Structure 1
Amino acid sequence: MSTDESDPESGSADGSPVPGETVQHGTGVTSNRAFPTSHYAAHLDPFVLFERFYIDPDQGFPMHPHKGFEIVSYLLDGGMAHEDSLGVSHTAYEGDAMRITTGGGIRHSEFPADGAACNGLQLWVNLPREDKEIDADYTDASADELPTREAEGATVTIVVGDGSPIDLRTEMEYLDAVVDDAWTWSVPEGWSGFLYGVEGDGTVAGEPFGEGDVLPVTEARDVAVATDSRLRVVAVAGRPHGEPIQQRGPFVF
């Protein structure tokens, strides 16, 4: 996925949800971006950006380059066909995940599969400086391979983390939580991350929260998620590299 150039330096105050922002990509694809946006103008070390993409049947991302970070794509609806310069050709469907390590450089394309629209989530994770030029790599996991566990007040799928076949060069976790009552997300000491609203409505940290909202978290804390009906969120946290994130379109230096 290609993005506009950005080099954010500051964000909003940590602790309150902010709305995502609509981004129109040059290929005609529309995304709801969690960060960086005008509402939260910073990267969230080690995370470069996060957005929900919506690709119509006649749109997509033709072959384009990336380098200097890792990509996690997680499909919510429909299918997305991926091809890359490593020779990989794979279609991910609802609940499937793909990880690309762009390293010193890779080219790939992303198009909706089967003549139907698709939507999903894409996360960019910075590579530490010593890994910027490593060989590109790719892996994927089907929905059945991602562990799903019952927690108090929620059903949680582990996209990245304990038991998932998807791993990165950054210590992190990526949870897909369907909350039907009250659930607590705990951010480890020294980590930063965010909550993003996928579907439904409720409250996060006692404040209204729904689809497209994001709660940036830069300090260890327990985050209370509650709903009277159903609220689906993704919770992502990782250990910062403590290095500047310099994004220039599809490259992170």
Structure 2
Amino acid sequence: MTSDAASDERSASDGPVAGQPVQHGTGVNSTRAFPSEAYPSSLDPFVLFERFHIDPDAGFPMHEHRGFEIVSYMLEGGMDHADSLGVEHTAREGEAMRITAGGGIRHSEFPADGEFCSGLQLWVNLPRSEKETEADYVDASAADLPTETVDGATVTTVVGEGSPIDLRTPMTYRDARVDGAWTWSVPDGWSGFLYGVGGSGTVDGDAFGEGDVLPVTEARDVRVEAGDDSATLRVVAVAGRPHDEPIRLRGPYVL
């Protein structure tokens, strides 16, 4: 995917903010968690995060990326991926892909089977010393991603212990379906965010629902609770160790 947003500075947020609707030049619609008007910054080491919605007649033709890594995680339907490494793969609901763009990779993304698809895409910065690393790709089926039931939630690890998806930045990425209360912990020295995928509830007592994001820039515990109607609140919780380097986003490149 491509982006025309850029920010080098981290900004603070006292609580959840709403995601921003974005329409890409190819006709794909997204809800962007950051950078956005409400949170006009990247979240070192994370460059951007958004939920994408691709109609059957839309998609991303072959385009180039450099200087970062991409994690795509499918929520609905399937997405066909092809790249300059010779990889052709269809990721379906509950499956994930990681692309290391490094010194350069070209790829395309289109909905599979002529049907709508939706998913989440995260861009993770590469440290300056690894900007020119060799391009790479890996994917994981839903069965490959470990899932556990804990008090108040069912949690799938997209990136982290037990997952075949790994990055050059130490990080974790969890998909939590919360039907009671669940506590997410951000380690010391890390930053991250929560994103609302579906349902409604609260985060540290603040209303939280689909499309909302809670940026977190210091170690803390965050309490996530489903709503009083007993509906499940689905969130993704992402945290990583900052590189403490400027993030310079220039369209499809992170310099």
Question: Which bracket does the TM-score occupy, shorter chain normalised?
Answer: over 0.9
Equivalence map 1:100-179=2 (5 Å): 100-179=99-178
Deviation at 1:4, TM superposition (A): 1.2
Gaps of 5+ in 1: none
Distance in 1 of aligned mates of 2:211 and 2:243: 27
- Checking the alignment, whether the CA contact within 8 Å between 1:45 and 1:242 is kept in structure 2 is yes
The residue aligned with 2:4 is 4
Matched-pair contact (CA < 8 Å) for 1:173–1:237: yes
Change (3 A) 1:251 1:144: same
Note the C-alpha offset of 1:192. Answer: 0.1
For 2:117 and 2:20, how far apart are their aligned partners in 1? 19
Equivalent pairs counted in the alignment come to 252
Residue-by-residue CA offset, 1:152-189 (whole Å, 9 max, x unaligned): 10000000001000000000000000000000000000
In 2, the alpha carbon distance for the partners of 1:251 and 1:5 equals: 11
Give 2:202's aligned residue.
203
Q: 4+ runs of 1 displaced by more than 3 Å?
A: none
Measured in 1, the distance between the counterparts of 2:26 and 2:9 equals 27
Judge conservation of contact 1:7–1:248 (CA < 8 Å) in 2: no
**Whole-angstrom distance in 1 between the partners of 2:122 and 2:5:** 16
For 2:114 and 2:104, locate their aligned partners in 1 and report how far apart those are by CA, in whole Å.
30
In 1: Cα distance, 2:224 partner to 2:10 partner: 26
Q: Say whether the 8 Å CA contact 2:56–2:111 is kept in structure 1.
A: yes
What's 2:25 paired with? 26
Q: Is the 1:204–1:224 contact (alpha carbons within 8 Å) kept by the matching residues of 2?
A: yes
Partner of 1:86: 85
- Structure 1 distance, partners of 2:42, 2:154, is 29
Give the drift of 1:14: 3.0
TM-score normalised according to structure 2 size: 0.98
* Residue 6 of structure 1, CA deviation: 1.7
- Other structure's SS at 1:114 match: helix
Give the TM-score of the pair, scaled to structure 1.
Answer: 0.98
> Which moved further from structure 2: 237-246 or 224-233?
224-233
Question: What's the counterpart of residue 251 of structure 2?
Answer: 249
Give, in whole Å, the separation in 1 of the partners of 2:85 and 2:5. 25
Take 2:204 and 2:100, find their aligned partners in 1: how far apart are those partners? 34
